[in-house]
Amino acid sequence: MTVLTKPQQRQRRRRRVRAKVRGSAERPRLSVFRSNRGLQVQLIDDVSGHTLAAVNSIESDLRELAP
């Protein structure tokens, strides 16, 4: 059994989840990436291969909304 690095673990987890989850225009897939600096969220239509919406908590206009 080999020890996987963090990027390898993330890729393995991504492949496992993507094998089970598909997004459509009616019900898009929600993709969340969390880092130490903030969040990145996307709504993805896998049928057409397009990102419907994307939000990043690091953007300056969202920081103004934070309490």
Q: How far apart are CA 28 and CA 51, in angstroms?
A: 9
pLDDT in tens, 15-61: 998 888 888 888 899 999 998 988 899 999 988 989 999 998 877 66
Q: How far apart are CA 40 and CA 8, in angstroms?
A: 20
User: What's the total number of domains in the chain?
Assistant: 1
59 domain-assigned = yes
pLDDT in tens, 24-36: 888 899 999 998 9
Look at residue 5 and tell me whether its pLDDT is greater than 90: yes
Confidence at residue 43, expressed as pLDDT on a 0 to 100 scale: 93
Confidence at residue 65, expressed as pLDDT on a 0 to 100 scale: 63
**Rg (alpha carbons) of the chain, rounded to whole number:** 15
**CATH at residue 55:** 3.30.420.100
Q: Which residue has the higher pLDDT, 25 or 6?
A: 6
Question: Amino acid identity, residue 38?
Answer: G
Residue 16 token pair: 């496992």
57 domain-assigned = yes
Provide the residue range defining the domain that includes 56: 23-67
